[in-house]
Amino acid sequence: MKMNRKTLELLLVNYQNINNGIHKNCAEKQKFVRLIKEVEEKLKSLPRDVIYPDGMTAMEYAHKLAKDANERL
């Protein structure tokens, strides 16, 4: 199953909360330690999501920056 960065970040937080709620070391706690490690590795391998203002695409944002720069001259 392919998940996006935001979904993986939320999953990681939930796994960490569950793991922190288990007070004694047992098979269930070890399962969450493994899941946390797997999700962290997946997050490291994904590229960062770039979010531009007002839902613009990269090209639209580049045009806006160029226009703003030209207006200052």
pLDDT in tens, 4-43: 888 999 999 999 999 999 888 889 999 999 999 999 999 9
Check: CB of residue 32 under 8 Å from CB of residue 15.
yes
Report pTM.
0.59
pLDDT computed for residue 16 by the predictor? 93
pLDDT computed for residue 39 by the predictor? 95
Residue 17's SS3 state is: helix
**pLDDT reading at 1 higher than 70:** no
List Cα–Cα distances, 10 to 32, 37, 40, 60, in angstroms. Answer: 14, 14, 11, 29
- Residue whose structure tokens are 């580049």: 62
pLDDT computed for residue 32 by the predictor? 92
| φ, ψ for residue 24, nearest 5 deg | -110, 145
Percentages of the chain per state (helix, strand, coil), in multiples of 5: 75, 0, 25
